[in-house]
Amino acid sequence: MADLELNFKNHPCFNKDAHHQFARVHLPVAPQCNVKCNYCNRKFDCVNESRPGVTSHVLSPEQSLDYLDKLMVVMPNIAVVGIAGPGDPFANADKTMETLRLVRKSYPQMLLCVSTNGLNVMPYIDELAELQVSHVTITVNAVDPAIASKMYSWARSEKRGYFGEDVGKLMLEKQLAAIDKLKEVGITVKINTIIVPGVNDHHVEEVAKYMASKGVDLMNTIPLFPVESTPFSVYEEPSAELMKSIREQVGAHLKPMTHCARCRADAAGLLGQDSAEAMRLLSESSKLVIEDGHERPYVAVASNEGILVNQHLGEAERLYIFRETPNGYKVVAQRATPVSGSGNERWVELSNILSDCKAILVGGIGPKPSAILGKIGVRVVEMSGLIDEGLESVYKGKELRTVCKADVFKCGSSCSGTASGCG
């Protein structure tokens, strides 16, 4: 990260002295989540609530850049751009990473950060480092799987659902591995822990001690905010006295954050003083129709017969190339994919072949090819069903209802994308 002159003193979440002077903005580009937390209800349009998971609008990456451009005019003291939902950034990795790329290109000196449950961040850590994302926050509610499992109803990873104590084991395994990798590449790590009396309040010092041993930089203990229609709505918010005691316990092992404002996924302004003007600009940008231009008029499709999206990228020997015309969507070419067996070079070569495509529709794709295609601005759409429905989503912005990958893709998102071919 030597290319970016990082000034942590300007980050209002990591430096208490900065939160009265420097503003931050969260770009709400990640609506989906891969974990059901027992304390979370993701209301997308609730302007009267200030808590994580809430936003008035969900933006596309291009709309987010438009919003940021306008916001910088009225709020030039913005020092940090973050992505914190309203779902999880890496359950929406394509949108998250494209947003970070756009912001880094337009604002080379801006501090970038993301807040995640840690379940699916690992495949993207190397690119986060390349983009000079300086801070990552991971919500770790326990380091005992039995306690962690009480905090979640379910989790979804690599096409499989996890329940009960398996959720706790999965979350902890993924989170600890991600923390190790983040520290390895030089990214500052903050831990958020939601304090639920009677569930994990007695365990927080153990979390702090363990996180300190992993090289974590800061820990933020957040009191439960009982939310209607959640399993934890029946619990009481922890008292100020309990929170003070817990933060003292944390302080024996890690630097504690003491000024958290439980920010919304579309928060903008000084910490705890979100801007009304920002809300107006957010609404304005959400209505913006982004013109893709003519330099990328095509969409590639992994299909057996040119009617359905029904192939995993790794097994596709050719891709159908579509274009929008006044008379509907037409196939303009078929392009052979590079032969398997060359590792990541296969996907780099494919990105060159698809340099004039704005998107690719696939039945399944591994994280490696997804990341490589994303770097050149090709939007990856995983779906099953009619090609026309996918094209309507890309060209017209219509809601895509056939987003579930077909069950026939046994590898699906769990495929490592090694380009060795599908057996």
At a CB cut-off of 8 Å and minimum separation 6, what does 202 contact?
Answer: none
pLDDT tens track for 198-231: 999 999 999 999 999 999 999 999 898 888 788 8
CA distance 313 to 382: 10
Binned at pLDDT 50, 70 and 90, residue 11 comes out as low
DSSP conformational letter for 246: H
pLDDT given at position 6? 46
The span from the CA of 143 to the CA of 151, in Å, is 12
Encode pLDDT of 239-257 as tens digits. 999 999 999 999 999 988 7
Of the chain, the end-to-end C-alpha distance in Å amounts to: 39
Two tokens at 244? 């003070």
pLDDT at 167: 95
> Can you spell out the DSSP letters for 343-363?
THHHHHHHHHHTTTEEEEEES
The single-letter DSSP state of residue 405 is: P
Helix H or strand E encompassing 162: strand 160-162
Q: Which domains are present in the chain?
A: 8-286 (3.20.20.70), 298-414 (3.30.420.130)
Which of these, 300, 298, 296, 302, lies nearest to 317 by C-alpha position? 302
How far, in Å, CA of 266 to CA of 94, rounded? Answer: 19
Q: What three-state secondary structure class fits 248?
A: helix
As beta bridge partners, residue 269 has 24, 274
The pairing of beta strand 268-270 with beta strand 23-26: antiparallel
Q: How confident is the model at residue 275 (pLDDT cuts 50, 70, 90)?
A: low
What phi, psi does 246 have (nearest 5°)?
-65, -40
Are 385 and 411 in contact, with CB atoms under 8 Å apart? Answer: no
Region 286-290: mean pLDDT is: 70
CA dihedral 267, 269, 270, 272 (to 10 degrees): -40
The one-letter amino acid at 272? G
pLDDT (average), residues 228-236 = 87
Q: Using alpha carbons, select from 65, 66, 61, 44 the residue that is nearest to residue 53.
A: 44
Mean per-residue pLDDT for 51-76?
84
Q: Which helix (H) or strand (E) holds 249?
A: helix 240-251
If one compares 372 and 253, the residue with the highest pLDDT of the two is 253
- Per-residue pLDDT tens digits for 146-192: 999 999 999 999 878 999 999 999 999 999 999 999 999 999 999 99
Beta bridge partners of 162: 155
Check: pTM over 0.75? Answer yes or no: no
φ and ψ at 45, to 5 degrees? -145, 70
